[in-house]
Structure 1
């Protein structure tokens, strides 16, 4: 019978949470293995055995972030009844997530690997893929809103998607710079003011024009 390995002397979920917070605060490139082992309270061999290398740990930490601290924005976008409520709910949820007390400010997915040397480019590409996925999720809600008549037929869905993605990502940087939740909520209200009104039916739409009766 093979000899059993030594049991772990640390809680893996707690260690992952601690790693996530370090990456969130310092970014991928700004985080060293020494930073991670110190925050997680484990030695390097235990880290490698439990999580693999730094890149693998980063991907798992980001997945943990998206499932916990960063989950409310995607939930709001997914569960709201109308497209407008979905986008506004997503942005309002972000104002709270990005400025949470006792947590690093800003979004890990947006700010976690914005500047990386070539050897660390895979981390940036990984986060870029997640940001593009969020952009596609926003676009899907807008397309659905267009199909439901919530937006004018002339709406450029791609332009509107790019606008709201820019607002979402810009708020992350603003939060990192110390802007308050109240200020970000005002940003959201201003951003939503550009939402196009629904298509208005014309007087004779879908009706046959009746001839004028002669005397």
Structure 2
């Protein structure tokens, strides 16, 4: 009869998530993971599979637990409200934990070895899924007349994601929440609106 697992799987996954968040996929060694979780390598293998499988579970947990503000944002009444809510919450999250600043989706793997390519692609897919949701919300805003007819939802979604990614990199580099908030406000300063479009076209 096999031995019962002697550790809390949920707590171990949370601890592993924090290691990946701080060090990225390739930077997180098994020594880091076993030290953080308090679980020896054979037991980690038994519970989660290999390192990639553990990272994928941690990434899913990150999106569920820490990025719950995204679906909340999509329900807000205007496209600018959506963008502002996402920016505000991303800045808060990226600077919330001094020991692991930035975003797991960005810290995970931007460029890595051939062995990490599948993880890099998984992170690209995860970010693309978020961008697609935002783009669809902006398309609806344009249909509703909240955005001007000249607005391009694809470009607006890509712009917002580019700002979010830059903020994550800056947070990892030690930029303060105050500075990142100012960056977010600058990004919103010229946000297109249907009313501004009408005013510029009026005689």
- The TM-score normalised by the length of structure 1 is 0.87
Q: 1:51-200 maps to which residues of 2 (within 5 A)?
A: 51-72=48-69, 74-198=70-194, 199-200=197-198
Q: Which residue number corresponds to residue 36 of structure 1?
A: 33
Runs of 4+ in 1 over 4 A off after TM superposition: none
Instruction: Give the RMSD, CA atoms, in angstroms.
Output: 1.6
- Ranges in structure 2 where 5+ consecutive residues have no aligned partner: none
**Paired residues of 1:16 and 1:61 also in contact (CA < 8 A):** yes
Per-residue displacement from partner, 1:32-88 (whole Å, max 9, x unpaired)? 11211111101111101100000000000111111113332x134223122211111
Distance 1:66 1:95 in 2: 15
Between the two proteins, the alignment pairs up a number of residues equal to 199
Q: Structure 1 residue 12 and structure 2 residue 19: aligned?
A: no
Distance 1:77 1:169 in 2: 18
- Ranges in structure 1 where 5+ consecutive residues have no aligned partner: 204-215
Distance 1:78 1:132 in 2: 16
> Could you say which structure has the higher helix fraction?
2
| Structure whose CA Rg is larger | 1
**Paired residues of 2:20 and 2:104 also in contact (CA < 8 A):** yes
- The TM-score normalised by the length of structure 2 is 0.92
**Paired residues of 1:76 and 1:93 also in contact (CA < 8 A):** no
